[in-house]
Structure 1
């Protein structure tokens, strides 16, 4: 009886917590929220009382009134004195901890927002925005006679000062209207930094009046190899089509590109500032400068542009004309952007041209520089000194550590394979912004693991004391756009991943299931805002499926309002395609393409399901005696598992699908083969899910079971195999291209939740 009572209590508690999250579907979740009884109802009779010195907060008041006007169709009347009931009160509270801190006390009579300053009032307005009905969003909006806000006592402030997003507008260009939409989403989820990557080899995107060729020539290009990849993928995914708004025809050539005038950028900066988002410009030097060098060839050491061993030819740090150019450019950038930060980039520099330059040899000798890495540091430090003269602080990618770093530079850490970089910088006293490629490079194609990986990211590197950890300012996610050619594709790549990062950086909360429940309430809001977000994953199948007897496909939908549409003729599902039956019977080999559609017409991932008939694989007829697997380690770079060399450099035994540290240099490319036998405890069809960065193949029972080959960002692929009870041959081939890897194998039987393959299932002879 006690057991039954306990189960009932847990079920009731779970139901109550779920109901509470639906009542307060706020992302990021507040630091403290105590639910109250009842609701505050906003109507045409509600009055607004402004804080002392109300003129200082006119922007935030206007944002609040705009929010209410979207919901109710009118603004609230302002009262000089608070009535006893039906009133919203904005109140100053200097005792709060920080500029973004705020409190919100809601009961049936009053809604009181207290803040230390303008930023706190604005963050409170965005919380209130999320508590209002989703249909009030967007240009169309929707008016009701009343809006109910649940009673609560809320206290909130951010865990980290730097909560950022990065957008590369050089590889592919984005309109000012899209940047405003992007900024509004940042504000909605309490992100406060937008790092704009304005220049690179593929395009110069900001007007510099002293050097007009930077945009007249450098902002335009003929289609490159990245565009070709996008065009090819657009055949199966319309989101990958090149945006025709950024294509022109000039002098008989088709050109892609665009740039922002300084007037356009001032307007964008003002738009962001009104939403308490700071725009940080990046002009990437001394590498990634091909667009500039082609316009002004004297900037390189040889007067030529092109590609070296790894990267493009950089500008020359040994020519005073280079510094004149750089200082002129950054003078205009410093005057244009009010941010205290300017990002210099300083990553991925091809230094071979410096090593060959007689001029650089002289400069290095005169300045006692022993390597080209120190020469890069010389350039960075000179630019930082110039930034200081303009009242700005320098940010650089973590390569600025090489050759020495000043104590005042900010380090942006991205190279996951150099884990000690942020630790060294923090111990040196430098401020650090965490942007590791895994999981914060949002240009990596998302899969079912992506949200979880972001949500469980810890911004504090291992090995730091509490005092050293104080140098970690926060984090940001980066969107590099080589293969993101459209605004819809950009939306898909960063939403909803950004919502997970926002909770990490604002609340530092670790309740993933709770977060997912709240996220489900946000999709309708994103639909209203015209966001082409990635729909949550469908379940109940793998990509490569087998059957022994006829089977039934039952797709599990994460949201009830999704419709699942399918085709069997190889075409892509569209909104007019037939709806997949709840029980779809499969009795012969076939290929099914299916996709989910939201009520707003947003299409989710296209799943291609292959079904083939297979007999149960016979076991090997042996019982292997040794626990674990044999791991063969191959030094070198292999783009696919098919070309791993024959003889391993090292062979060791491992307990599971793991690659121990120390087999090769950190961050190096390698190949690996893990082999032995896997136990099938019962006869059945086993589903396997292989996550790789870079690529891998799984073979079970003599069958190719999962193909996740080739270099790519972390990505999960799945497949099935029919096995008789017993021990079966087992092999995982894996290749890593360098820079940090992911390798994970999970399984499912009869639709069970994914779980790691147990150690006891793996043995060798």
Structure 2
């Protein structure tokens, strides 16, 4: 973590309106008046900032239509870029906008570039397009001192499961640069495809870059019937030898071009060649890479390469030698996650190596592979990063650990206490392939980058964080946009800013959507609220959809079809008097459709309470140490233990990797009315009240919220909540609201047994 000397000030409503900057600066002092950019504006810059001057000229030309000239005079109407070696942070900058001049100082080109991104956000959003109309524009006066809190502010993109073009990667980095993100982690190889040309092993891309459609492609195609963004990009489909193949790869010349593009935007590309596991695409091309020849799927993962053959290390070193030549980054990612080690234990070569090296377990064998590769990396001036599985079997103190297994919270603590630098990427909330919902932005914004168990000295080993985008079910560029934006903006502010204010951030974010439209980003639009997915009424219901972005048009259908830009606009107050299903979606001013909402209404009479004596607070909770695919499967099972819960928080004593919980008892309803329940689960859960299923959030999935309503008279009702966790980290939260009011915690006194 980078320490700061800057002062923190509280944001105000005026600053949100006039200075909608994301991430918010360390210190911002508003001024009076504005600086006018017109035909007389000039740039005066130190010679080392030639590239940044070119970028600034392009920004101002797009914004004003004027071609800005350079000068060596600090005259009125001049934008001055100066080096200041007294600044300690490599990315820090000072920005002063006065009516007469603009001054930007920084220690490095990177600092100047970060300052220009702040100016970019202060300019009208048409700066993102090629504007030729000459028109004077203004910048608000202010003073900013700024620097990031964390050094590592990253985004990860998996181009193996589904492939993305060089043009898309450039667009992706343009958005990263806008929000001051500085690391792009490219996951270039996996079981489903090898995506980078290796000249010494041409079959890696000749064969390993292409596949027939797999089960993930089929799932995407099925979903595309209702969501066109889930369609497979046709640009990556070819027909060869009578087969339809999906794939693609980057030629080395393309990678050089991409790296140069990243460098100009002060982004470091971190390449990942994942081994020893996730190597099926490579083993198909070169079968002798595995211990037994070839590769196949095991219970969970594919056959890995063999760490007991010298030929394996020769292959790995040859591959990484070419990677090192292409990527100047000091960091290179080895992967080393999710390895099925069973085949190693049956190989004679591994038995001999383990005896020779004194290795006792398959974890030790993987550690041997990682440590040997790290020595090779160091000999080439590179630093090795691995997923947190590299801690298993022991790891050197010079390896960098990327923490992702959120169900192993001790992993980053152990690594940092041992002196290993750690990059935080836990699945919850930083896996951006998990579907976003109404809570996503807040969960990211409030994410604790530094684990609470670390002291101040140990916290220095937390370099920062990144979001990961795994693309098994992200088959198109539009879908990728939807999954990472605007979530990336929340992470950008969390990692850069000292001054964190979620309300302020949401106010500023609203002003960024027109800019994202200009950049042609297919972002996830702000949530529509004021309803639940399953609704009930006793006489009639009034649907009043609330929009955070006023310019959105909400359109709807009643026949089950997907709303289109020609569908009718939903009235401000829509009265429902009979059971029906409404599909609705918001459309922005460009006609781009957002999330599709399916809302069901059913007519009910008020349920009648039961008469039962309940004297104890809390719910009887049954704990099952088993793996379940559905919460419905808990019925009829014998629990491993039974205890009483005062709330719906999973107790810390639950340690099984997969389990089920069943909460049973009664809920005391204080007054007659329509009640909404909000159930968030990772993985699945079903809520029953009385004899009704109120919310069904079943299945194996990431943390998502589903909602439902029930009409209840005042009194007590049987309550049952069945919850399952399939492995990989859990979340359970149940809240309520009266009608469509804001969700709130269920009071403990309502729960009885």
What TM-score does the superposition give when structure 2 sets the normalisation length?
Answer: 0.98
Q: Say if 1:623 and 1:727, in contact at 8 Å, map to a contact too.
A: no
Aligned to 2:204: 214
Q: Say if 2:62 and 2:127, in contact at 8 Å, map to a contact too.
A: yes
* Distance (Å, rounded) in 2 between the aligned partners of 1:649 and 1:406: 40
Q: Say if 2:61 and 2:131, in contact at 8 Å, map to a contact too.
A: no
Aligned to 1:707: 696
> Is 1:327 the equivalent of 2:317?
yes
Aligned to 1:515: 505
Aligned to 2:69: 77
Aligned to 1:127: 118
- Which residues of 2 match residues 289-438 of structure 1 at below 5 A? 289-438=279-428
* Distance (Å, rounded) in 1 between the aligned partners of 2:498 and 2:461: 17
Secondary structure, counterpart of 1:70 in structure 2? helix
* Distance (Å, rounded) in 2 between the aligned partners of 1:604 and 1:720: 24
Secondary structure, counterpart of 1:227 in structure 2? helix
1:142 positional shift:
6.4
Q: Say if 1:701 and 1:723, in contact at 8 Å, map to a contact too.
A: no
Q: Say if 2:530 and 2:741, in contact at 8 Å, map to a contact too.
A: no
Most deviating of 58-67 and 243-252: 58-67
> Is 1:741 the equivalent of 2:736?
no
| 1:365-388 alpha-carbon deviations (Å, 9 max, x no partner) | 011001110000000011111111
Most deviating of 88-97 and 187-196: 88-97
Aligned with residue 471 of structure 2, among 461, 466, 481 = 481
> Is 1:529 the equivalent of 2:519?
yes
Q: Say if 1:650 and 1:663, in contact at 8 Å, map to a contact too.
A: no
Aligned to 1:39: 34
Aligned with residue 751 of structure 1, among 736, 740, 743 = 740
Q: Say if 1:705 and 1:719, in contact at 8 Å, map to a contact too.
A: yes
- Which residues of 2 match residues 655-670 of structure 1 at below 5 A? 655-665=646-656, 668-670=657-659
Aligned to 1:465: 455
* Distance (Å, rounded) in 1 between the aligned partners of 2:249 and 2:232: 16
Q: Say if 1:638 and 1:736, in contact at 8 Å, map to a contact too.
A: yes
| 1:179-231 alpha-carbon deviations (Å, 9 max, x no partner) | 00000000000000000000000000000000000000000000000001000
Aligned to 2:259: 269
Aligned to 2:487: 497
Q: 1:130 to 1:292 in 2, by over 3 A?
A: same
* Distance (Å, rounded) in 2 between the aligned partners of 1:142 and 1:133: 14
Aligned with residue 52 of structure 2, among 51, 56, 60 = 60
Q: Say if 1:30 and 1:155, in contact at 8 Å, map to a contact too.
A: yes
Structure 1 runs of 4+ off > 3 angstroms? 140-144
Aligned to 1:149: 139
| 1:688-734 alpha-carbon deviations (Å, 9 max, x no partner) | 11000001011112210001000101100000000001111111110
| 1:46-96 alpha-carbon deviations (Å, 9 max, x no partner) | 121112xx1x2111111111100111123312121111x222111211111
| 1:637-688 alpha-carbon deviations (Å, 9 max, x no partner) | 00110112521111111111122122333xx100011111112211100011
Aligned to 1:100: 91
Secondary structure, counterpart of 1:720 in structure 2? strand
1:623 positional shift:
4.9
Q: Say if 1:135 and 1:142, in contact at 8 Å, map to a contact too.
A: no
| 1:528-575 alpha-carbon deviations (Å, 9 max, x no partner) | 000000001001110000010111111011111000000000000011
> Is 1:616 the equivalent of 2:606?
yes
Secondary structure, counterpart of 1:606 in structure 2? strand
What TM-score does the superposition give when structure 1 sets the normalisation length?
Answer: 0.96
Q: Say if 1:410 and 1:432, in contact at 8 Å, map to a contact too.
A: yes
> Is 1:28 the equivalent of 2:23?
yes
| Unpaired runs of at least 5, structure 2 | 1-9
Q: Say if 1:94 and 1:116, in contact at 8 Å, map to a contact too.
A: yes
| Unpaired runs of at least 5, structure 1 | 1-13
Aligned with residue 561 of structure 1, among 551, 557, 561 = 551
> Is 1:685 the equivalent of 2:674?
yes
- Which residues of 2 match residues 185-204 of structure 1 at below 5 A? 185-204=175-194
Aligned to 1:5: none
Secondary structure, counterpart of 1:616 in structure 2? coil
* Distance (Å, rounded) in 2 between the aligned partners of 1:377 and 1:521: 49
| 1:493-526 alpha-carbon deviations (Å, 9 max, x no partner) | 0000000000010014331111000000000000
Q: Say if 1:308 and 1:352, in contact at 8 Å, map to a contact too.
A: no
1:136 positional shift:
2.2
* Distance (Å, rounded) in 2 between the aligned partners of 1:423 and 1:655: 30
Q: Say if 1:136 and 1:142, in contact at 8 Å, map to a contact too.
A: no
Q: 1:603 to 1:141 in 2, by over 3 A?
A: farther
| 1:574-614 alpha-carbon deviations (Å, 9 max, x no partner) | 11111001111100000000000111222111000010001
> Is 1:671 the equivalent of 2:663?
no
> Is 1:585 the equivalent of 2:575?
yes
Secondary structure, counterpart of 1:361 in structure 2? helix
1:135 positional shift:
2.0
* Distance (Å, rounded) in 2 between the aligned partners of 1:339 and 1:453: 31
| 1:233-282 alpha-carbon deviations (Å, 9 max, x no partner) | 00111000000000000000000000000000100000010000000000
1:141 positional shift:
4.2
* Distance (Å, rounded) in 2 between the aligned partners of 1:80 and 1:463: 53
> Is 1:576 the equivalent of 2:566?
yes
Indicate the RMSD between aligned Cα atoms, in angstroms.
1.1
> Is 1:86 the equivalent of 2:81?
no
Aligned to 1:3: none
Most deviating of 508-517 and 211-220: 508-517
Secondary structure, counterpart of 1:63 in structure 2? helix
Q: Say if 1:167 and 1:478, in contact at 8 Å, map to a contact too.
A: yes
Q: Say if 2:295 and 2:302, in contact at 8 Å, map to a contact too.
A: yes
* Distance (Å, rounded) in 2 between the aligned partners of 1:49 and 1:710: 61
* Distance (Å, rounded) in 2 between the aligned partners of 1:371 and 1:736: 29
* Distance (Å, rounded) in 1 between the aligned partners of 2:256 and 2:274: 21
Most deviating of 629-638 and 645-654: 645-654
Aligned to 2:685: 696
1:750 positional shift:
3.3
* Distance (Å, rounded) in 2 between the aligned partners of 1:340 and 1:160: 18
| 1:426-453 alpha-carbon deviations (Å, 9 max, x no partner) | 1111110000000000000000011111
1:144 positional shift:
5.0
Q: 1:217 to 1:413 in 2, by over 3 A?
A: same
Secondary structure, counterpart of 1:421 in structure 2? helix
Q: Say if 1:544 and 1:609, in contact at 8 Å, map to a contact too.
A: yes
Q: Say if 2:687 and 2:720, in contact at 8 Å, map to a contact too.
A: yes
- Which residues of 2 match residues 210-289 of structure 1 at below 5 A? 210-289=200-279
* Distance (Å, rounded) in 1 between the aligned partners of 2:502 and 2:590: 26
Most deviating of 263-272 and 638-647: 638-647
